[in-house]
Amino acid sequence: MNWRRLSPGSAEAYALATCMVIVASLVRWGLGLLTDDVQAFTTFYPAVLFATLVGGAGVGIFTTILSGLISGWKFLSPNDAFLHVTSADEINLLTFVFASLVIVWATDHYRRLIKRLEDEEKFRKLAVEELAHRLKNKLATIQAIIGFRLREHPDVKDKIIRSLGALSATDDLIMASQGRGADLRDILSAELAPYDVSRISMEGPNCLVPPKQALMMALLVHELATNAAKYGSFSNSTGRISINWSYSEPGLTIDWRESGGPFVTLPTHRGFGSRLFLRALEQFGGKVEPNFASTGLICKLSIVLAGVICPL
């Protein structure tokens, strides 16, 4: 029997409560064999608590009554139960009933609150999943429109569609974390998956980047990887890429280093990727420091990111 799935007030809940009272009675009887200095109702309080937690207020009150009857008959005045009840016995019984009713009220209130929170969490997850599904459909429609409108400009079309694909992959990571963001290592892995992973090294702490910044990071890594495939380390069979990052308040620093690729020269004009870098970084007070070394591109990104979680 899975007690967490019992319906409040069900026959199974009452049966489980009865079993709890029996167990409490046996424990109380065992304690009585060890010492006489044991209160009559000591072991029945947990039974009332757990019975209410499982079955609700009705089951908790039932457990209180059953516990009071058994304790009054067997443990309160065991030799002449219910025949010669003393004032002290009456006070003990009333105290037990009052305390148990308080336990029932508080536990039932807690149980209802937890149930409401669980229902709200299920609804939130359902809403997030539905939103993700609709966004995917919208993205597919946007890609189709771009493909049609820019069919005579294949280079521009491919750049835009690949960038949208990068956003889609990161969206999946964000949805997988229930909207909390995406891990930086997962973003890098998703964007670099199409390339030879044996030529890529990544080192840095696990950092959960908030949703907006995660999407921005996906675009930046996508542009770096695309540039490496066209002109840098991924354009031949010997190039390698090393990515290192660190986080300290208030920003994240990423060091992208290429080596083993073709000879690198300083570009003569600023392309789409460079403009994207600057516009994306400006939103978060970041900056980029490119170094077009002859051995390969070295790019240092510094981004001010509030809310990044990097557990030690």
| Residue 245: predicted pLDDT | 92
Question: Is pLDDT above 60 for 78?
Answer: no
Sorted by where each begins, the domain ranges of the chain are 3-119, 182-304
Long-range contacts: 64-69, Cβ < 8 Å, 24+? 64/96, 64/97, 64/100, 64/101, 64/104, 66/17, 66/18, 66/21, 67/21, 67/24, 67/41, 67/96, 67/100, 68/41, 68/93, 68/96, 68/97, 68/100
Question: Is pLDDT above 90 for 244?
Answer: yes
Q: Quick: pLDDT tens for 20-55.
A: 888 988 888 888 777 777 777 888 888 898 888 888
- Residue 255 to residue 245: CA distance in whole angstroms: 6
| Residue 174: predicted pLDDT | 67
- Cβ-Cβ contacts under 8 Å for 190 (sequence gap 6 or more): 169, 170, 173, 218
Question: Is pLDDT above 90 for 276?
Answer: no
Please state, rounded to an integer, the average pLDDT across all residues of the chain: 77
| Residue 293: predicted pLDDT | 82
Q: Quick: pLDDT tens for 98-137.
A: 988 999 999 888 888 888 887 777 766 665 565 555 666 6
| Residue 1: predicted pLDDT | 45
Question: Is pLDDT above 60 for 81?
Answer: no
CA torsion angle 225 229 231 235 (round to 10)? 140
| Residue 11: predicted pLDDT | 84
Per-residue pLDDT, averaged over 71-86, amounts to 62
- Residue 256 to residue 221: CA distance in whole angstroms: 9
Per-residue pLDDT, averaged over 234-252, amounts to 86
CA separation, residue 219 to residues 11, 168, 214, 258 (Å)? 57, 11, 9, 18
What share of the chain has pLDDT > 70, as a percent? Answer: 71
| Residue 243: predicted pLDDT | 93
Per-residue pLDDT, averaged over 221-234, amounts to 84
Among 69-78, 177-186, 189-198, the least confident range: 69-78
CATH architecture of 182-304: 2-Layer Sandwich (3.30)
